[in-house]
Amino acid sequence: MKVLVKDRSISTSKGIVKIGDEVDLPETEVKKIMVLKPTAFEILKAEVKPAKKSTAKKKRARNEDGTLKADDPNTPENEAWEDA
């Protein structure tokens, strides 16, 4: 989380930062510091994390006896894999 330091000096995981410095700190650290000093930072840019695409996981198909099922090359779909 990118923040602008508004307090005279603050000790952070990035070292001691002074008034006017722009630093990139973990959100949890910013929250902890702002509990003690609510006016210590001005949040400059909120990071928007892109949503993860859910990919359908596949697993190997098995026969009734538990052995791996083979793919039949004469069919367009792959029978050796199934959706999890």
pLDDT in tens, 10-41: 999 999 999 999 999 999 999 999 999 999 99
Provide the domain count of the chain: 1
Return the number of other C-beta atoms located less than 10 Å from residue 24's C-beta. 11
23 found inside a domain: yes
Q: 30: domain range?
A: 2-45
Does residue 83 belong to any structural domain of this protein?
no
Judge whether 72 lies within some domain.
no
CA–CA dist 17, 30 (Å, integer):
13
7: in domain: yes
What band does 72 get if pLDDT is binned at 50, 70 and 90?
confident
Does residue 53 have a pLDDT over 80? no
Asked if residue 18 belongs to a domain, the reply is: yes
Look at residue 39 and tell me if it is in a domain: yes
The CA distance from 3 to 23, in Å, is 6
Residue 58, token pair as written in the block: 């596949």
- Looking at every residue in the chain, the average pLDDT score rounds to 87
